[in-house]
Amino acid sequence: MGAKMLESLRKAVYDANMELNARNLVIYSFGNVSGIDRKSGIVAIKPSGVPYGKLSPENIILVNVADGKTLEGTLWPSSDTPTHLEIYRNFPEIGGITHSHSKFATVFAQAGFHIPCQGTTHADYFYGDIPLTRKLKKMEIERDYELNTGKVIVEKVRKSNREAIEIPAVLVAGHGPFTWGKTPEEAVEHAVILEYVAEMALHGLRLNNMSSSLEDTLLDRHFLRKHGKNAYYGQNK
């Protein structure tokens, strides 16, 4: 991978991290965004514990997707790097991943609830309920915790009967949300929308204890008009 491509990847991941912060989905040094160049197998990710005000494209860390070894950068990569890498290794259609502790999505994760698809705003981005992983077992927490976090995410996506890109978000039980997309920028967009629909879902549940999901016909219509093979939403027709 050439120097220009590395610079471009780093800049895209830096911009996505800064957007995550600008959208108030993280505080202090919480959260992280990564991106991958599939041809080279290089992942760019936020360094661990660095506040967003001190972040720069130059201190974005480059690691190998196969084994997580640092290829370039003097700082430690995010402690969540093994989680990101496990998702990338299992879903080749994913080009960017975001992890935050955004308030409303994390409320669902901590309470142990999935986010039900109650309306078309949700269905425009997520093809059904936002799933919740199982709790990690004691041994999974004590040994290779971050890697096992990625494994339970992958496990949940595989059991959802959807493609990863169709429901680009999972809540990790007791922890918080991970979202993804074809690019780091899109992964952040999905994190923003996830927080928006999580807040609406929580209010909906409070208002009338709604537990039913949006009917399948309307869910299909809204998701597929944007993301299906015959999509007609937007200008790229």
pLDDT in tens, 200-224: 999 988 887 655 566 788 778 778 8
d(CA 50, CA 28): 8
Q: Is the dihedral of CA 28, 29, 32, 33 positive or negative?
A: positive
CATH number of 3-227: 3.40.225.10
Q: Please give the average per-residue pLDDT across 42-68, as a whole number.
A: 96
Report the SS3 class of residue 112: coil
Spatial neighbors of 231 by CB under 8 A, at least 6 apart, are 224, 225
pLDDT for residue 155: 98
**For the chain, how many residues are written?**
237
What is residue 77's predicted lDDT score, i.e. its pLDDT? 95
Catalytic status, residue 145: no
The pTM for the full model equals: 0.91
Q: What is the pLDDT of residue 222?
A: 72
User: pLDDT band for position 180 (50/70/90)?
Assistant: very high
Count of Cβ atoms closer than 10 Å to residue 165 Cβ: 18
Q: What pLDDT score does 236 carry?
A: 62
For residue 124, is pLDDT > 60? yes
**Which among 28, 145, 232, 233 is annotated as catalytic?**
233
Q: Which residue in 124, 144, 196, 220 is the catalytic one? A: 124
Residue 125 is among the residues annotated as catalytic for this protein: no
Q: What number is the average pLDDT over the span 117-130?
A: 95
What mean pLDDT do residues 154-166 have? Answer: 95
Residue pair 173/109 in contact by the 8 Å Cβ criterion: yes
| Cβ within 8 Å of residue 56, ≥6 positions away | 14
Query: Residues 117, 129: contact at Cβ < 8 Å?
Result: yes
Q: Give pLDDT tens digits for 58-110.
A: 999 999 999 999 999 899 999 999 999 999 999 999 999 999 999 999 999 99
